[in-house]
Structure 1
Amino acid sequence: MYVPTMNAPASITAPLDAATLAMIEELARARGMTGEQFAAAAIRKAMEHDVEWRAFVQAGVDSADRGELITQEEMEAWFEERVAARRPA
């Protein structure tokens, strides 16, 4: 089984319908890149988002494990304050 090194480029294949492929090519052209470059960037962005999300969730779990919790009423009050702060004066 081939296992690429960190710096060696590797390829994947994914079936795409014609409309999706056309959209990828259009978006890539608008950014001055190839469809392959656009797809690689999109995969990288999705991966980074997933890593960040998992860290965010873990921070919440760790906080709860330490007993750093708030009540439903405190959460609702916090939320209402944020909503009120965004309302036009």
Structure 2
Amino acid sequence: MPVMSIRLSEEMADSLAALAQATGCSKSYLAVDALQGYLDREAWQVAEITKGLGEADAGDFASPGEVAAVTGKWTGTAG
């Protein structure tokens, strides 16, 4: 398994140590878990942007009725 070294601020290191103490998990476990969550969210966002760009390139846009339905949902005028 590859090993990586990172520099943390004192505040972040203290927060990580406190969380590790409170949860009974190792600092390494918590750091890897946080990094995995970040990577998953970023990969999802990139995939959704790529999908949206592909739809836009194909001319697949919302109809005026679909836009009105969403707008109504958020402005309280939905049917």
Fold in common (TM above 0.5): yes
Structural mapping, 1:1-89, within 5 Å: 9-70=1-62, 75=67, 78-84=70-76
Q: Under a length normalisation based on structure 1, what TM-score does the superposition of the two structures give?
A: 0.69
Identity %, equivalent residues: 18
Number of aligned residue pairs: 77
Secondary structure in 2 matching 1:48? helix
More helix by share: 2
CA RMSD of aligned residues (A): 2.5
Structure 2 unaligned regions, length at least 5: none
Shift of 1:24: 1.0
Number of the residue aligned with 1:4: none
Q: Under a length normalisation based on structure 2, what TM-score does the superposition of the two structures give?
A: 0.76
The runs of at least 4 aligned residues of structure 1 exceeding 4 Å deviation read: none
